Amino acid sequence: MALNNKTKDKYRRVIRGMMIVLAVVLLVMGLAVPIVNNAVAMGVAGELKALSMPAETTVIESTSLAGRFADTASSVQYFGALLLKSNCEQEELQTHFMQYNNGLDVTYRIARQRGQDITVLGDVDLAFREEVGEDGYYILYTVRNGGNALQWWLDMDVRG
DSSP structural state of residue 76: -
pLDDT at 158: 66
Q: pLDDT digits over 60-74, tens only?
A: 999 999 888 776 667
**Taking a C-beta distance cutoff of 8 angstroms, is the pair 54, 88 a contact?**
yes
**Taking a C-beta distance cutoff of 8 angstroms, is the pair 154, 146 a contact?**
yes
**Taking a C-beta distance cutoff of 8 angstroms, is the pair 94, 136 a contact?**
no
Q: What is the distance of C-alpha 141 from the center of its chain?
A: 12
Q: pLDDT digits over 87-122, tens only?
A: 999 999 999 999 888 766 678 999 999 999 999 988
Q: Where are the domains of the chain?
A: 33-154
The model's pTM: 0.79
